[in-house]
């Protein structure tokens, strides 16, 4: 086993967009060793545990590679590299991500707009209060729709229900028992009906061909006036042109985006960033003051035991499905 953390920083800086390198690499990180030494390391590798961002040409440089585990949960992170749709078995940490911190981010965003706290920033800059602008609403008894009731979405639902919210959601498979706190789970075809009955909406699903632009014109048309929308999944799941139109029509009370289209290339759309009803953060919803790395390692160690025993691995990406 070779601990190669940081070895490829220079390559990542050269091959990934500048915004990605600035966000994820230390300012002076340039890697370790020569290109030939790193090539030799990859040439011998049978298993690789990779973070984000990762070397984009791993498949081409690692002829013995049989299995790669990506520490993040989202499979879409891999689209940029040559592992996507390859013959390499790739697993993710789906279900082992920082689900609780991300769920707390969603609830914090619900409360931020429910209590009108975004108005406080406007008041500070204007140095004048507009009491009537706050229009506070109570979360208890309000309906929350979780788009993608997987590991993260279920944690959002559990916390929302603890606050007295009525929780519904969608997911690809609707069989089995309802997750804790949920009143109803429907398939993708029930999305618009649930949006029309919900006051708060959390996007927690994987980014796949089926979910790209999922929250688009039809979804915004279906939403109740004054709904609050939070996205902790991937920016591409929301059609940002449709979102900008919905904001122009004053359809939404507030929007919290921990992700946005093109977040690894540069800043968000100026029309979103300057809108006081839109709260944008740099993909930090999974952050916390407690260690969450062990959860990523749990699934890797479990899969390593299975791999050595010749047993099936957990969380293998289905390239056709997209996760």
Q: What is the pLDDT of residues 227-274, one digit of tens each?
A: 999 999 999 999 999 999 999 999 999 999 999 999 989 999 999 999
Q: Any idea which fold 99-280 has?
A: Rossmann fold (3.40.50)
- CA dist., res. 83 & res. 90, Å (int): 8
The domain limits of the chain are 9-96+292-308, 99-280
Contacts 24+ apart (CB under 8 A), 244-248: 244/269, 244/271, 244/272, 245/217, 245/220, 246/220, 247/272, 247/275, 247/277, 247/278
pLDDT digits (tens, 9 = 90+) for 124-141: 988 999 999 999 999 999
Task: Pick the closest to residue 88 from 112, 63, 110 (CA basis).
Answer: 63
pLDDT at 293: 57
pLDDT at 95: 80
Tell if the pTM clears 0.75, that is, is over it.
Answer: yes
Query: If you average pLDDT over residues 302-314, what whole number do you get?
Result: 96
Task: Pick the closest to residue 242 from 220, 259, 274, 211 (CA basis).
Answer: 220
215 neighbors 228 (Cβ within 8 angstroms): no
* 289: pLDDT strictly greater than 90: no
> Cis omega (within 30 of 0) on the bond before 53?
yes
Residue 150: HSE in the Cβ half-sphere, 13 Å Cα cutoff: 21
* 107: pLDDT strictly greater than 90: yes
Q: Give 171's pLDDT tier (boundaries 50, 70, 90).
A: very high
Task: Pick the closest to residue 101 from 286, 241, 274 (CA basis).
Answer: 286
Domain 9-96+292-308 annotated CATH 3.40.50.720: yes
SS3 103: helix
Q: Which residues lie closer than 8 Å to 259 by C-beta, 6 or more apart?
A: 231, 232, 233, 234, 235, 283
- Average predicted confidence (pLDDT) for the chain: 94
Does 9-96+292-308 match 99-280 in CATH topology? Answer: yes
Contacts 24+ apart (CB under 8 A), 185-192: 185/149, 191/147, 191/219, 191/222, 192/218, 192/219, 192/222
pLDDT at 73: 85
pLDDT at 291: 63
pLDDT at 28: 87
pLDDT digits (tens, 9 = 90+) for 26-43: 888 899 889 999 999 999
- CA dist., res. 54 & res. 80, Å (int): 10
Sheet holding 227-231, edge to edge: 182-186, 166-170, 143-147, 200-203, 227-231, 252-257, 278-280
pLDDT at 148: 96
SS3 89: strand
Q: Give 292's pLDDT tier (boundaries 50, 70, 90).
A: low
């Amino acid at each position: 086993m070779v601990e190669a953390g940081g070895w490829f920083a220079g390559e990542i800086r050269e091959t990934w967009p500048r915004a990605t390198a600035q966000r994820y690499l230390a300012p002076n990180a340039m890697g370790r060793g020569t290109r030939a030494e790193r090539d030799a390391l990859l040439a011998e590798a049978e298993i690789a545990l990779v973070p984000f961002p990762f070397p984009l040409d791993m498949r081409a440089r690692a002829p013995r590679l049989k299995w790669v585990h990506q520490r993040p949960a989202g499979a879409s992170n891999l689209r940029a590299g040559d592992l996507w749709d390859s013959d390499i078995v790739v697993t993710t940490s789906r279900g082992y991500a920082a689900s609780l911190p991300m769920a707390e981010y969603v609830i914090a965003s619900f409360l931020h707009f429910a209590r009108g706290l975004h108005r406080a920033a406007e008041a500070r800059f204007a140095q004048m209060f507009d009491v009537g602008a706050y229009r506070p609403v109570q979360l208890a008894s309000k309906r929350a729709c979780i788009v993608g009731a997987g590991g993260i979405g279920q944690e959002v639902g559990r916390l929302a229900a603890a606050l007295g919210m009525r929780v519904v959601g969608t997911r690809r498979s609707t069989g089995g028992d309802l997750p804790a706190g949920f009143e109803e789970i429907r398939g993708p075809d029930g999305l618009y009906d649930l949006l029309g009955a919900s006051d708060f909406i959390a996007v927690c699903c994987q980014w796949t061909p089926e979910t790209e632009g999922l929250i688009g014109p039809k979804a915004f048309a279906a939403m109740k006036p004054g709904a609050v929308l939070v996205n902790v999944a991937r920016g591409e799941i929301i059609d940002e042109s449709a979102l900008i139109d919905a904001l122009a029509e004053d359809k939404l009370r507030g929007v919290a985006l921990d992700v946005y289209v093109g977040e690894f290339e540069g800043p968000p759309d100026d029309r979103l960033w300057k809108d006081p009803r839109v709260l944008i953060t740099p993909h930090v919803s999974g952050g916390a003051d407690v260690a969450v790395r062990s959860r990523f390692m749990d699934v890797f160690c479990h899969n390593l035991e299975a791999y050595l025993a010749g047993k099936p691995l957990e969380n293998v990406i289905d390239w056709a499905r997209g996760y």
